[in-house]
Amino acid sequence: MLKKSKELVGLPIISITEGKEIGSVKSLVVNPEKGMVDFLAVEHEDWHISMKAIPFKKIVGIGEYAITVENQFSILDLNEIPIANQLINQKISIIDTKVMTRLGQLVGKANEYYIEQEKGEIVAVQIETNQETVYLQSDDIITYGENLLILNEAYTTSSEFDADVLIPATEETTTEVYQQETPAIALDRFDQKQTELLAGKEATKDIIDQQGEVVVAAGTRLSEEDLKRVREIGPSLMVDLSMNVR
Low pLDDT (below 50) residues in the chain: 168-187
CATH topology of domain 98-169: SH3 type barrels. (2.30.30)
Distance between CA 121 and CA 124 in Å, rounded? 9
Distance between CA 153 and CA 182 in Å, rounded? 42
The pLDDT of residue 176: 36
Q: Pairing between strand 12-15 and 67-69?
A: parallel
The pLDDT of residue 235: 67
The pLDDT of residue 170: 41
Q: Could you give the angle at which helices 189-198 and 235-242 cross, rounded to 10 degrees? A: 30
Q: Is 3.90.50.10 the CATH number for 2-90?
A: yes
| 8 Å CB contact between 46 and 180 | no
The pLDDT of residue 164: 52
The pLDDT of residue 171: 38
The pLDDT of residue 7: 93
Spatial neighbors of 182 by CB under 8 A, at least 6 apart, are none
The pLDDT of residue 31: 94
Spatial neighbors of 91 by CB under 8 A, at least 6 apart, are 146
The pLDDT of residue 94: 94
Domain ranges of the chain: 2-90, 98-169, 189-242
Residue 20: which of 63, 69, 59 has the closest Cα? 69
Tens-digit pLDDT profile for residues 162-171: 655 555 444 3
The pLDDT of residue 28: 95
